[in-house]
Chain A
Amino acid sequence: MHELSIVMSILDIAEKELAKSNAAHIEEIELEIGELSGIDMQAFDFAWQQAVKSTKLETADKIVTHIPGEGLCMDCETVFPMHELYKPCPVCGHHFITLLKGKELRVKSLVIN
């Protein structure tokens, strides 16, 4: 369950940002999670519930933007939606693919007061 350590890192980032400001509360946290980031959302939500208890994120609204995977075929240069790492290019069938999107795991923004 690396989701727990991911949540702990998010908490760490959020608390550091809060500490740099003059605010006391986090109202909202916006996250970007890519489809191919290796995060299992069910495990993530479960870990979140456990980890944010009695922290600055306990009452914050969590907004998650899911970023769909996107691959670039290195053979024919097609850009295509990529939902699994093992799927070939839909045009030429080759597997030399560069991931353009889908690996994101970011804290995008915080709303604090």
Chain B
Amino acid sequence: MCATCGCDANASSSIKHIGEHDHGHDHSQHHDHPHSHGKTIIEVEKDVLHENNLLAQRNRGYFDAKNILALNLVSSPGSGKTSLLERTLTDMKGEFPFYVIEGDQQTTRDADRIHATGTKVAQINTGKGCHLDAHMILHAVQGMKPVENAILFIENVGNLVCPAMFDLGEKERVVIISVTEGDDKPIKYPDMFHTSTLCIINKIDLLPYVPFSLDKVKSYARQVNPALEFIEVSCTSGEGLSGWYQWLKEKVPVTETV
């Protein structure tokens, strides 16, 4: 049982607050049962993701209370999530308090890249796990203690399948696809496009060299999610990034500045 949050998921992940001390905890549980006889049917009727969803709601409540814009960035491996964050954190420095949670199976390489921009970052290593879950976010956020009116980017593990199922408590989910991946991704991995509100199409500097149709990818994605918004960018050349920065500014909940 996790004393801090009362949950008892089997955590095999570790959280490192880059530039700080390590943090982690063990979860274990044990039950003893007296023997008895006779069959009983228990009508459980419980959502398998119930525990995750409860914690996600808890995170969401925390973010709402502190007026924090939490975004869950999802994509295939290598679509450019970390590159987009590096650019964003550099170009928008000083405009908002930023925080980043990095999810990877191994290493702190992505967190080190974020740390280099001067942003507070926590790295979650999921080990064999292929997605972040709400419990990991809860602990990462506890360690970060973000200030109010901030923007929190959560870079999920590069994987278009599993992260779709796990609500982290984010305000919006942003799916990133790069033009080198093929324009039929949205119908091959529909869940991710179904649950996202914004699709960033990255690496448009490579469009002349790859068979990728912007029209096709959008039309496939709209089949899955007609309300999906699109922003085309190149993290390398910087093209289109102003559209993304504008989107961010519009999403930040307006409050009275004290």
A interface vs B, CB < 8 Å? Answer: 1-2, 4-6, 8-10, 12-15, 17-19, 21-24, 27, 37-38, 84-88, 94-96, 105-113
B interface vs A, CB < 8 Å? Answer: 8-10, 29, 31, 33-52, 128-131, 133, 161-162, 164-166, 186-187, 190-191, 194, 220, 222-224, 226
Please tell me if the beta carbons of B42 and A109 are within 8 angstroms of each other in the complex. yes
| Distance in Å: Cβ of A19 to nearest Cβ of chain B | 4
CB < 8 Å A-B pair total? 115
A-B complex: 4 closest residue pairs judged by Cβ atoms:
A2-B162, A85-B190, A19-B31, A86-B223
Please tell me if the beta carbons of A108 and B43 are within 8 angstroms of each other in the complex. yes
Please tell me if the beta carbons of B130 and A2 are within 8 angstroms of each other in the complex. yes
Q: How far is the CA of A4 from the CA of B137 in the complex (A)?
A: 19
- A8, A94, A112 pick with most chain B CB within 10 angstroms: A112
Please name all residues of chain B whose beta carbon is closer than 8 Å to the beta carbon of A18 when the two chains form the complex.
Answer: 31, 33
- Told that A14-B44, A95-B222, A109-B45 touch, could you supply 10 new A-B pairs with CB distance under 8 A? A2-B166, A4-B128, A9-B48, A12-B8, A17-B42, A18-B31, A23-B36, A27-B39, A84-B187, A113-B37
| Distance in Å: Cβ of B223 to nearest Cβ of chain A | 4
Please name all residues of chain B whose beta carbon is closer than 8 Å to the beta carbon of A5 when the two chains form the complex.
Answer: 129, 131, 133
| Distance in Å: Cβ of B109 to nearest Cβ of chain A | 23
Please tell me if the beta carbons of A22 and B41 are within 8 angstroms of each other in the complex. no
Please tell me if the beta carbons of B31 and A15 are within 8 angstroms of each other in the complex. yes
Please name all residues of chain B whose beta carbon is closer than 8 Å to the beta carbon of A113 when the two chains form the complex.
Answer: 36-40
Please name all residues of chain A whose beta carbon is closer than 8 Å to the beta carbon of B190 when the two chains form the complex.
Answer: 84-86
Please name all residues of chain B whose beta carbon is closer than 8 Å to the beta carbon of A24 when the two chains form the complex.
Answer: 33-36
- A22, A85, A87 pick with most chain B CB within 10 angstroms: A85
Write 26 A-B pairs (CB below 8 A) sorted by A numbering: A4-B128, A6-B165, A8-B9, A8-B10, A9-B9, A9-B49, A9-B52, A12-B9, A12-B10, A13-B48, A15-B29, A17-B44, A22-B34, A22-B36, A23-B36, A27-B39, A38-B191, A86-B186, A88-B223, A105-B47, A106-B46, A111-B39, A112-B39, A112-B40, A112-B42, A113-B37
